[in-house]
Structure 1
């Protein structure tokens, strides 16, 4: 939550008071408070119940400081365990990350990088061989280790960037041991994301070579699938089609089972001949008369 949203919610005075009280604490109790707050603001949005919970935590920490009692001993839990416990008691909605929206940007990155690389190889093939067929078959090197490692570094950078943004969104001070490390980890992961392709190709780490035409076909199919699912919603239509088929198959199976059960209950000719279940007996006649009376 930003400062504007804090003011809008009306929790600005309590928030400022908590900040001042936290600054007045000595180091071990202050570090405990910031550890709890750092966990809380990465799990939920800052709001009045959260500020009230942190205010109660400050009350207990100030009392422990006066008694010269260690914060972990006074509260009986590790900071993160204490934060999880309090969040369960508050029952406030948690942050939910939706990384599917970043697939679009990842696809753009792949199309641009490998598309330009394939275009360069295609132009080089025409220039060197003077043949269009040879240009389409020019190899495009891809590292089987470098590409997954590159995506891992990208995910790591985004993760630490989210951590940094959330802690700084509430006016959280640059924490001595953690806050600056999130930003540094995000920057280093982003640099590794940019550098890994050059090293993996320069040192030939698990290289495979794909022809230009095959890579171009894969890129076109991937881009076409993403465009169709994003704008034409073809994947939703396919899902609905399969759901309808499954629903109809289940309904048909239920109806068949009901027919089988009804057939088992009805008397058949063989049972009638054995006089075990005659078609007409006292019970059936009595039941028919009762039904006629009800109809009248």
Structure 2
């Protein structure tokens, strides 16, 4: 008969496991900080998010209304009351940039998260069950990848919501265009995550701990969610982070074409749309949102590269 392990031995094993987990976290953080572009991008994105969240405070401090039209003060240069000047309708540019940051970042984060959830679910199902289900889901994924996404999104974004049976309260909501962009991008943006998760699941389901869980009678959903998913989360994080920049750019393109976020709700894309006819009279109105879009997309790409390097399991094992 097997004797129970002494309490001291159990405590030592628990401490060793805790120390190993802490060591992995420390190695990850050291590797991430060494990636200076990624760390700088993280700092920039955090500051941008905080500044955007503080838009109402900035609005109150400047004693302005970001949506108030004042044609007598249109296209004013920077001043103490308007640090970045005013637009063609006399609205404060700084406040609208911060509110636009809230919308553009919210679209990027929400759409990327929804796409990651869809892709993770399909990838787990395809990789774990295999066979015909795997073939069907992967051929469907290939079909979505083969579609010309931008023209398709332009067509879908132009559909009149009154003709699709949605509640009138949602259609007339100021945020209706935001919800539509998030839905459309998530509908077609899950393919990369699905393929990555499927490949990682195919590798994981042959591991001993998964075989042991199956032998003990664990259900398929429990095995996928408890045993496989935590071990494939790294590529999901990297792919999701990298996709946010592309989604922000895609939202800006649709808004620039007049099919994305609709005024009076500001976004960097529709601010560019308003500024395109004033490029010679007031070029700053196009430069500010353009620079923010460029910097945000580049920052998310650098952040994704840094996370990919820091979360590389081979690199983590090499530094332990």
**Normalized against structure 2, the TM-score is what?**
0.29
Higher relative contact order (CA 8 A, sep 6+): 2
TM-score, length-scaled by structure 1: 0.30
| Greater Cα radius of gyration, structure 1 or 2 | 1
